[in-house]
Amino acid sequence: MRKLIAGNWKMNGSLAANQALVQALRADVGSPGCDVVVCPPAAYLAQVQQLLAGCPSIALGAQDVSEQAGGAYTGNVSAAMLADFGVRFAIVGHSERRQYQGESDLLVARKAQQALASGITPIVCVGETLAEREQGLTDFIVQRQLSAVLAVNGTHVAEMVVAYEPVWAIGTGQTATPEQAQQVHALLRGQLRAVNATAASQVRILYGGSMNAANAQALLAQPDIDGGLIGGAALKAPDFLTIVGAAA
């Protein structure tokens, strides 16, 4: 399976910084042996689309998508609008949106549904907090979160990407060991297999908890880790490209 490395810039960037970062990525990415996507803030999608013009090695992604197709939803951005800008991937259900915007499992499922309807691949995020892990609830939490998405989009399993992002390892410097990450990835693969055995082998499951240039190779060597959803390291071209190289 061809791995996927997705850079989530979060709420970072400026016109100048974006230009410098994309130019550095384009200069050295070459023809990678994996799929690469960058997800800038919505305000910069048009700029980054232009910066990526003529660069088939890097796809454009979005950090979120509305659960509505259109209408009186001030501030929302629909999947059709994203598609107009050539967006091919959209992150849905990131733990920061679940925490700060109160997104529910059902809302995440509906966002994935809207992305799929516009031909955009949703990157469905699941993950547990430190308290939930310490209580032995990891399996229950991630399976509940994924179940909600599958209940709404079960016939489109093969068209989705799943990202396991342990909340306790996001931006903290902590990282799940390769063995810990593989255990959850294998659990998610089994859940997908129960819905569609054929599609389960095609779905890429990314790891999204502080993957960086130093630990990427060990994490990506695990049998059920098919790529990474990269946060801080995605803002540094050398680090991001090192991860891309490890995935290839």
Active site residue 185: no
Radius of gyration of the chain (CA): 17
Active-site option among 67, 94, 96, 103: 94
Scan for tokens 């695990």, then name that residue. Answer: 222
67, 103, 128, 165: the catalytic one is: 165
Could you give the angle at the alpha carbon of 161 between the alpha carbons of 32 and 220, nearest 5°?
50
Residue 169 CA to its chain's centroid (Å): 15
CB-based contact 149:188 (threshold 8 Å)? no
- DSSP reduced 3-state for 148: helix
Single-letter amino acid, residue 62: A
Q: Report the C-alpha gap between 232 and 23 in whole angstroms.
A: 18
Apex 50 CA angle, 44 and 56, nearest 5:
115
For tokens 């996927």, name the residue. Answer: 4
Distance CA 174, CA 38 (A): 23
**Residue in 2, 5, 40, 3 with CA at minimum distance from that of residue 229:** 5
* Residue 156 designated active-site: no
How wide is the angle at C-alpha 208 spanned by C-alphas 88 and 239, nearest 5°?
85
Any idea which residues carry the catalytic annotation? 94, 165
